[in-house]
Structure 1
Amino acid sequence: MHLKSFSISGFRSLTDVADIPVSRPTILAGHNDGGKSAVLDALAFLLGKRSLSDDDRSYSGTDTEQEPGEGAGRMPSTSVTGVFLLDEWEQGAFDLPAVVRARRWAALEASPLLQVWGPVPDDERLADLSRHLVPALKALVAELGLAPLSQRRADLEAALRQYAAGHSAEGWGPAPGGFDKRMPAFLPFDGKAARPDDQIKTALSGRFQHHMADPELKGRLGAIELDIQERLRIDAKSLCEHIQDRCPDLAEVFVEPEVSFTQGFRGAPLRIARAAGEPVGLERSGLGSNRRVSLAIWEWNNELLIEEEITAAAEDSADDGEPVAPPVQTIVVYDEPDTHLDYGHQRRIMNLIREQSALPHVSVMVATHSMNLIDGVDISDVVHLKLENHRTMVERLGAGVVGPAIDIHLGKIAVAVGLRNTVLLHERCFLAVEGDTEQRAFPVLFRLCEGMSLQAAGIALWACFNNEGALHLARYLVEWDRTVMLVVDADSRNVSKSIFKEAKLTQFFGTSADRYVKFLGEPDHAAEGQERYNELEEIFTDPVWAKVANKAWPKEEGEWSASDFTALRAPGKKFSEQVKELLQVGSPQGPGGKPDMMYTLAATLDTPDDVPLQLRSVFSELRTLAG
């Protein structure tokens, strides 16, 4: 059974959150107190690994200005609903289709119920036949006037199921017996707690359950406790060796498993020694040691997951004729795993997550603030959580706006133009320019005019390179309420098949194209008497060009004058090419190309007054938009 996605209702700030994917991996990003840990706790509740407390239930206040708890009671119910894929064995065992919706639901002051959506028999007694003994099944068959093939349990149940199928309505009914035992395994690692003892207990608990299920141990209740304890010692020895290998400054590492059938697997306190023969509890070590040991535990657990996958594959390939239940999905959960780790150890965490995500029966969910982790996955696998009026809202860029194929295409475009996931999620304004020339010059010009960098102002810059995909990305960001501005040369409209022609812009932005696209050189419609220019280079005045040329590209003899550049403004000729050729021929230090020429121009200017008014107006508007 594999969980593909889940939705949450009435759980803390998650009053109504839908379709959170369980991917390989899924990244939960967002501000502090945005709901990341609540999502992970809700997942644990769905999988039966966490009880529900009164504090977990959302407040039912509908006044968005009202603080939670002020004049509001708790919501009448809390539920977490998952979409599960069932394998063939489970479909036969539970008489369910390949895709089912199951939920864990709890009304106020009531115990949680595990339910499945599907046909619910009109007769409540037929909802779960596994709870009835054979005499009760025979009585039901007789009461309903059915004719089973025999009086065996299997035939009695088959007849009752067939009857129930014809006397049912769609709804939530009790999950079949044994359904909960096939729910995915939940393996949590809390990076914020920094308690390796807890992580060791989590890692060894799975092995404890594995050994408890060993057929060789059944019936030997007197000796099984010692056997389990000895096996866990062997597992713990491997773990200790791995920790010591990763943390060579520790002279000795000890783990002594404690097993009790009355209390289950109670724990395995970890003790370390920096000098031989002097073991101490890890709680007396520093925070850095705790985090490095925890990382070593996670790595060891990853090796166990790989080993289990190999074992499962070997069992699948063995053809003994007996139907065998396939392994269940394991969902590994990390809550801020990079806390207190330096960059090198963060890279190890990233590699670990990638390795686990590649395993067929393993999914990974990571709640993090780490830009490295957020930028390391596809944007559609990033779930951005944010609080609005004390309620968590989910934002998934790249998911379901214009179809999966386009989503992938947009993700590739974002990578190609240098927009990382963290930029797409957090930057307040996106500035698109036509090519490399503007991409190099604009950051310098913006800092000169506005007194700060584009990044500090919250503006992400990307170059279109005449790529129609950039307009797709711009339209997509506009649909997601991102602030976008495209700044291009006025002559872009005139190029054959230009993506900046009026028809194309209207197709992408409707009648509001002027809000999103600025053409450098086109006169302001509100002003009269302005000249029309074709490109960025042309809007700089001739005196400015002369002043910069004398500083950056001096002649061997004499100086440049404004008239040298005025002469290049001839109709039908491209001003930028004329200037570049003039400077390359007339100066030993002439520019290597147009991008280099414009970057040098921008870097040589002294005051904002040297920057054309139209460009200053664009920068001012960008600053306002980003603010």
Structure 2
Amino acid sequence: MYLIRFSACGFRSLARIEDVPVSSPTILAGHNDGGKSAVLTALAFLLGIHRLTDEDRTYEQTEGSVGGRCARTWVEGTFRLDAAEQAATGLSSTLRIRRISEQGQPPQWQYFGSRPADSRLHDLTRLLKGELAELVAEFSLSPAGPLKDDLLQALTAYAVTAPQVEQWQPLPKELQERLPRLLSFGGKDEKPDDAVRTALSSCYETYLEDETLQGRVREIETEITQRLEKEADSLCQHIRRHCREFVGVQVKPEVSFKGGFKRAPLEVSKADGEPVDLTRSGQGSNRRIALAVWEWTSNLLENSELAAAGEEGHAEPTQTIVVYDEPDTHLDYRHQRTVMDIIRKQCALPHVSVVVATHSMNLIDGVDIADVVHLRLSDSGRTIVERLMDESHEGIDFHLGQIASAVGLRNSVLLHERCFLAVEGPTEQQCLPLLFRLSQGLPLQAAGIALWACGNNEGALHLAGYLVKNRRTVMLMVDADSRTNKHFRTERLIKAGLDPDTQVTWIGEADGFNELEELFTDAQWATAANTHWPRPADTQWTAEDFAAHRGGKFSARVLTMIKEQAEHTSPDGKDDMLYGLVTTLTTREDVPAQLRDAFSDLQALAS
């Protein structure tokens, strides 16, 4: 069972939030006290990890005053069921499941689905034989025999055919057992001991399910402890490699069968044998040790998937959701990048999802901007979720600007983009974002690339030169016929600080063309023209119509032809004409090969 997204109501500052995605990864960004930790805790409540208290319930607000706490708190998720789960329960592939707590009542899991309108046909397995017999008689059923199982089978079959209603109902136990596992690595003050315990608890749960241990109550504590010690030894070796100043690293798991996995205190020492008191050492040391634990956890998750894949007839692995709360705090830039590498490695596993609450623009830049959730407090002190709704280039920039402002950045592009693409004018500005996303599978911003349209050749060169002087990575992309422009002579490019061979892309030159428009095939132009600027009835644009204009100023001649021959509408200009063509492209292969190669080089430059 895989969690796709979740919503919450009446949980701390989350009066009502909807559709927080669980992706690979999801990034939660926003001001301090904006609700990031509340969202993570709500997820833990949904999965049965967090124990709800009265303090978790949202204060109800009425006009002019603040009332008591709300009486109902719930967190609802949209889940995907695998084939085995569907077969066992008879439910559809997508299911709404919530965990709800009414005031004074224990929390319970429910799912939304159809059930008989007659409440007497609910929870038939709980009825006694006499009660089942009375219902069989009332509904005039003919069971296969007089046994309780026969009566139950007849009533169950009848319940399916009875009038149904859609409503919330108790979640079957077999699905409760298949809820995703949650590995939660705490906030900025997390202790290394806690990180170790979280990492090893996954091993512990696995061993408790080992059939060879069933019935061995008196021996199980010793055996699990020994197994965990082996896992801990591997972890200690990894910490020593990661933090070389600590020569002695030792973990001593303590297991209680009744109380579960209790503790795994971490002991470290320096080269001279002097023990290190981690409670009094710097935050940087603690966080680097925790970082080593998280990295080791990635290997553990990968190994667990390989083990599951090797079993015949196994169900899909249970989804594991790894949660990080500000993992980059107290880490320098190099270790921040290590955090992102760990997250990427975990996200590459099919059964693993990752949710990260962070202020770091390094982490925010490393994912598709559509997977970033911006959290902010309203004037009433309640958390509001902002998601990217407009996927245009301007919409992405606006959304990114909101996030940058929340973490204290003003000139967001100049401060955090890793590569700048300087182009000549509006044609490239409108079309390149669409072409890049189609070619590379992500927006320019998610790749860390800022697009600048400079209005003319001189402006593009001036901007590129300015950025190079400020030690920024730059790529200049101009039409091949701009080589004749005095601003783009080799000596002028070198003087501006650009390498003509690696930092300048001459669009079209590799194929013997002069401009961007020529890279697209005659057939693509005909398709675009028939879609956007059709000729009079019974007359179609053909590839030959556009082939006739190859050789001079292709774009100008094509624009004139379309304006003269289109029946009702025609492009407003060159930029509008090429944009119309680009919107008709649907696959990566539709993007000209020269542009695909240039985009790949650009993405590599940005990374």
1:284-307, Cα deviation, whole Å (9 max, x unpaired): 332221111100110111111000
CA distance in 1, matches of 2:66, 2:369: 40
Match of 1:120 in 2: 115
Contact 2:327–2:358 under 8 Å retained in 1: yes
1:17-416 alignment runs, 5 A limit: 17-63=17-63, 70-131=65-126, 140-142=135-137, 144-149=139-144, 157-165=152-160, 166-275=162-271, 277-315=273-311, 318=312, 324-389=314-379, 390-397=381-388, 399=389, 401=390, 407=391, 410=392
Q: Normalised by the size of structure 1, how large is the TM-score?
A: 0.64
CA distance in 2, matches of 1:155, 1:228: 43
Change (3 A) 1:298 1:584: closer
CA shift for structure 1 position 150 = 5.5
Unaligned runs of 5+ in 2: 435-451, 460-481, 498-607
Match of 2:441 in 1: none
Amino acid of the structure 2 residue aligned with 1:272 = V
CA distance in 2, matches of 1:196, 1:458: 31
1:376-402, Cα deviation, whole Å (9 max, x unpaired): 1111101111111211111111x4x5x
Match of 1:182, SS state, is coil
CA distance in 1, matches of 2:219, 2:284: 40
CA distance in 2, matches of 1:115, 1:584: 67
CA distance in 2, matches of 1:60, 1:351: 42
1:167-188, Cα deviation, whole Å (9 max, x unpaired): 3211111111222111100110
Greater mean alpha carbon deviation, residues 168-177 or residues 138-147: 138-147
CA shift for structure 1 position 275 = 3.9
Change (3 A) 1:184 1:468: same
CA shift for structure 1 position 207 = 0.9
Amino acid of the structure 2 residue aligned with 1:293 = I
CA shift for structure 1 position 274 = 1.1
Match of 2:246, SS state, is coil
Contact 2:35–2:376 under 8 Å retained in 1: yes
CA distance in 2, matches of 1:334, 1:196: 14
CA shift for structure 1 position 203 = 1.1
Match of 2:383, SS state, is strand
Contact 2:404–2:412 under 8 Å retained in 1: no
CA shift for structure 1 position 140 = 4.8
Match of 1:327, SS state, is coil
Change (3 A) 1:41 1:590: closer
Match of 1:4 in 2: 4
Change (3 A) 1:245 1:488: closer
CA shift for structure 1 position 84 = 0.4
CA distance in 2, matches of 1:423, 1:388: 18
The count of aligned residue pairs is 452
1:256-288, Cα deviation, whole Å (9 max, x unpaired): 111112211111111111145544543233222
CA shift for structure 1 position 325 = 3.1
Partner residue of 1:465 out of 408, 425, 428: 425
Task: Give the greater-gyration-radius structure (CA).
Answer: 1
Q: Normalised by the size of structure 2, how large is the TM-score?
A: 0.66
1:88-137, Cα deviation, whole Å (9 max, x unpaired): 11112222111110101112222212110011333445433455577765
CA distance in 1, matches of 2:67, 2:5: 30
CA distance in 1, matches of 2:384, 2:266: 40
Change (3 A) 1:93 1:465: same
Change (3 A) 1:427 1:295: closer
CA shift for structure 1 position 421 = 7.1
Change (3 A) 1:302 1:129: farther
CA shift for structure 1 position 243 = 0.8
CA distance in 1, matches of 2:356, 2:454: 40
Change (3 A) 1:133 1:181: farther
Match of 2:29, SS state, is strand
1:430-469 alignment runs, 5 A limit: 465-467=425-427
Change (3 A) 1:487 1:119: same
Amino acid of the structure 2 residue aligned with 1:31 = H
CA distance in 2, matches of 1:465, 1:169: 59
Contact 2:45–2:52 under 8 Å retained in 1: yes
Match of 1:612 in 2: none
Change (3 A) 1:181 1:151: farther
CA shift for structure 1 position 245 = 1.2
1:308-347, Cα deviation, whole Å (9 max, x unpaired): 11112222xx3xxxx5432211101111110101111111
Match of 1:426 in 2: 404
1:489-520, Cα deviation, whole Å (9 max, x unpaired): 7xx9xxxxxxxxxxxxxxxxxxxxxxxxxxxx
Contact 1:138–1:156 under 8 Å retained in 2: yes
Contact 1:194–1:287 under 8 Å retained in 2: no
Contact 2:25–2:367 under 8 Å retained in 1: yes
Match of 2:45, SS state, is helix
Amino acid of the structure 1 residue aligned with 2:226 = E
Match of 2:310, SS state, is helix
Contact 2:26–2:373 under 8 Å retained in 1: yes
Contact 1:83–1:99 under 8 Å retained in 2: yes
Match of 1:178, SS state, is helix
1:528-556, Cα deviation, whole Å (9 max, x unpaired): xxxxxxx999xxxxxxxxxxxxxxxxxxx
Alignment RMSD, CA only? Answer: 3.8
CA distance in 1, matches of 2:164, 2:279: 58
Match of 1:444 in 2: none
Contact 2:424–2:453 under 8 Å retained in 1: no
